[in-house]
Amino acid sequence: MKPTIEPTPGATAPPLPLPSGLDPALAATLTARWEAGPGAVLAREFTNLYGHRDGAADAWNALLSTAAGLAARRDPELHALDAERAQRPDWFLDPGMLGYSTYVDRFGGGFSGVTARIDWLQGLGVRYLHLLPFLRPRDGDNDGGFAVSDYDEVDPRLGTMDDLVGLARRLRASGISLGADLVLNHTADDHAWAVAARAGDPRYRAFYHVYPDREVPDRFEATLPQIFPLTAPGNFTHDAALDAWVWTTFYPFQWDLDWSNPDVFVAMAATLLRTANRGVEVLRLDSIAFLWKRQGTDCMNQPEVHAILRALRALVDVFAPGVLLKAEAIVPMRDLPPYFGGAQGPECHLAYHSSLMTAAWASLALGDTAMLRRVLRDTPTLGPCCSWLTYVRCHDDIGWKVLAPEAVGGDREPPVDLGWVAGFYAGSRADSFADGRPFQSADGGVHGTSGMAADLCGIGRAQRAGDPRAMAEAVDRLLLLYGVAMCCGGLPTLYMGDEIALGNDLAFDDDPGRRHEGRWLHRPAMDWERAADPHAHAPAGVVLARLRAMVAVRRDQSALHAAAPRRVLDAGNPSLLVLARGDQFIGVFNFGPRAVRFAPPVDSWHDLLDASVRGMSFVVRPWGQCWLERG
């Protein structure tokens, strides 16, 4: 049984200490927010997590004085945003919301290049832009920027901090919220804290998990998973300067922070608020599941992770309430709902629905939607002001392991061989349309799959074969997956390049700095030539036009609001997914290679994606979809 944290009975908010000289209106606002609940939650969680530790009282005082100081320096425009969002806290559940995720350099070269491409994002209908890590990373290998050397400096190759702040402002003025990664599980091994630890400073040595020998690491290792089993096996790295073993869940140069140390909490909470002050409106909490370590467990999803999240959310709710927290917890679905919070307080506003994404790919390979239907049926209804982030691809591999619980099968579903699915996308089966590659999978093992969506859907193969029918089917498959992401209730997020069917980037194979890391296969540079004239680069024009049309239809459909009720209907055919949103909208998605006739339960309906189609029954072509509206 997992241990739980008992809340301190009857904890109430202590007074909020505020610096003298603070603008009285701001002081009143902060105090009101503090007293509305977050103050009590923060005090309770901080006490439970750290009350027994030396220095906890000093850490608490430092936390509050830093937070108040940062609130005093927060841009008036952001204070205004805080107030506006307080009036409409569910703003991001709107069907007009669309996300877009990209690396700064791959999309625009630097911050100014991204600014120059805002019109492209607006043309797509994007309202939330997730820029992958742009802070100063360590030199050399840095896990695509996820090894951060300095949270207060940007990567100089991308521009300056002022450029970033200017970009955030320009985006906001264009109706787009900027999102950024907050890498809080680990720092780079050349971050100032790690450097100080190596130099023998005990304060900073205590920022990390450092062990003099293998005894404790070996005990932990017995139950720990491997994130990069081929390129970074094991979870601990021997560091010569420390003459000790340091916890490194990901790469050896990413040192896990010790969140049981109150000084780590204070330092990272301040980092969060400083990032928010730069105009970042959505914080992607990277690798959040890994923050707390407990022997005998997989050291993921521990109760203390949720206590930390409640404390961070409370801080945000007082000092930067316009900001959203997004959980990057790539864990089986049953472990996800707690990341939104519960009776003990709210946690994140958003969380990646990786099981849904992965199940959609599995169903596409199998031509059978049983897995997808099960995931959707089991997807819980969320509380008010919470939403899934739905997506098709991102900068990471498709990690099959999140589906392990569903893959064993259930009362209504047969078991699924994820090894077969992974093999299908690696293109190793004669009947496959996909051009992907296994990621971190030793012979036949099931770990992940790399590849751009277009190539995983067969666009590359169809192009090479010069086969127009195969091409049309591959395009349908790509749009089918985006259709599910747009209809099932959440904030759908495009991955850069998918809108113009950009394929795999094979160039990384020849780059000695990247070739060991298969995820670079799906991190190409944006092809602006193709974007400028998509019809000259088939099938980019068709993909772009149809995707834009889907976004436009979605925008006006209140049935596709993230919180609108969702129900999986019995389709009578295993290749169909039929999803009702309320009683006015039915999405019909055909994951199989044969056309299927579908008759909605009652009444006459019309297809929002094809104005000419209406009636009592519909033929859904292979890999086709209908968005049916009643009437």
By annotation, the residues acting in catalysis are 286, 328
Task: Looking at residues 33 to 72 of the shown chain, list those that interact with ligand GLC (rule: CB under 6 A).
Answer: none
Task: Looking at residues 361 to 420 of the shown chain, list those that interact with ligand GLC (rule: CB under 6 A).
Answer: 395-396
- The H or E element containing residue 341 is strand 341-342
Cα four-point dihedral sign 132, 133, 135, 137: negative
Rounded CA-CA distance 537/530 in Å is: 6
CB closer to ligand GLC, 177 vs 287:
287
Query: What is the closest distance, in whole angstroms, from the C-beta atom of residue 328 to ligand GLC in the complex?
Result: 6
CB closer to ligand GLC, 439 vs 482:
439
Torsion of CA 466, 469, 474, 480, to 10 degrees: 160
Rounded CA-CA distance 400/443 in Å is: 15
**Residue from 286, 435, 505, 517 that binds ligand GLC (CB under 6 A)?**
286
Rounded CA-CA distance 414/171 in Å is: 47
Which residue of the chain is nearest ligand GLC when measured via CB? Answer: 146
CB closer to ligand GLC, 146 vs 605:
146
250 belongs to the binding site for ligand GLC (CB under 6 A): yes
User: In 28-114, where do the E strands start and end?
Assistant: 99-102
CB closer to ligand GLC, 90 vs 396:
396
CB closer to ligand GLC, 394 vs 416:
394
Q: Which residues contact 40 (CB under 8 A, 6 or more apart)?
A: 11, 12, 13
Task: Looking at residues 169 to 198 of the shown chain, list those that interact with ligand GLC (rule: CB under 6 A).
Answer: 183
Query: What is the closest distance, in whole angstroms, from the C-beta atom of residue 94 to ligand GLC in the complex?
Result: 26
DSSP reduced 3-state for 161:
helix
Task: Take residue 31 and report the two structure tokens written for it.
Answer: 């105090």
How many residues interact with ligand GLC (rule CB under 6 A)?
10
Query: What is the closest distance, in whole angstroms, from the C-beta atom of residue 359 to ligand GLC in the complex?
Result: 19
CB closer to ligand GLC, 132 vs 454:
132
Query: What is the closest distance, in whole angstroms, from the C-beta atom of residue 150 to ligand GLC in the complex?
Result: 16
354 belongs to the binding site for ligand GLC (CB under 6 A): no
CB closer to ligand GLC, 440 vs 575:
440
- Please calculate the CA angle 101-331-193 and round it to the nearest 5 degrees: 70
Task: Looking at residues 492 to 551 of the shown chain, list those that interact with ligand GLC (rule: CB under 6 A).
Answer: none
Q: How does DSSP assign 535-549, residue by residue?
A: GGSTTHHHHHHHHHH
Q: Which residues of 381-395 are buried (b: 16+ CB within 10 A; e: fewer)?
A: ebeebbbbbbbbbbb
287 belongs to the binding site for ligand GLC (CB under 6 A): yes
Query: What is the closest distance, in whole angstroms, from the C-beta atom of residue 187 to ligand GLC in the complex?
Result: 10
Q: Look up residue 51 and give its DSSP letter.
A: T
Which amino acid makes up residue 355? S
Rounded CA-CA distance 277/59 in Å is: 21
Query: What is the closest distance, in whole angstroms, from the C-beta atom of residue 287 to ligand GLC in the complex?
Result: 4
CB closer to ligand GLC, 143 vs 607:
143
Task: Looking at residues 121 to 160 of the shown chain, list those that interact with ligand GLC (rule: CB under 6 A).
Answer: 143-144, 146
Query: What is the closest distance, in whole angstroms, from the C-beta atom of residue 13 to ligand GLC in the complex?
Result: 34
Rounded CA-CA distance 266/227 in Å is: 28
The closest alpha carbon to 347, from 319, 375, 297, 305, belongs to: 305
208 belongs to the binding site for ligand GLC (CB under 6 A): no
**Alpha-carbon distance values, 515 to 221, 508, 559, 603 (Å):** 28, 5, 45, 56
303 belongs to the binding site for ligand GLC (CB under 6 A): no
Query: What is the closest distance, in whole angstroms, from the C-beta atom of residue 188 to ligand GLC in the complex?
Result: 10
Please say whether the beta carbons of 433 and 457 come within 8 A. yes
- Residue 536 has, within 13 A of its CA and on its CB side, a CA count of 7
Residues that bind ligand GLC (CB under 6 A): 143-144, 146, 183, 250, 286-287, 328, 395-396
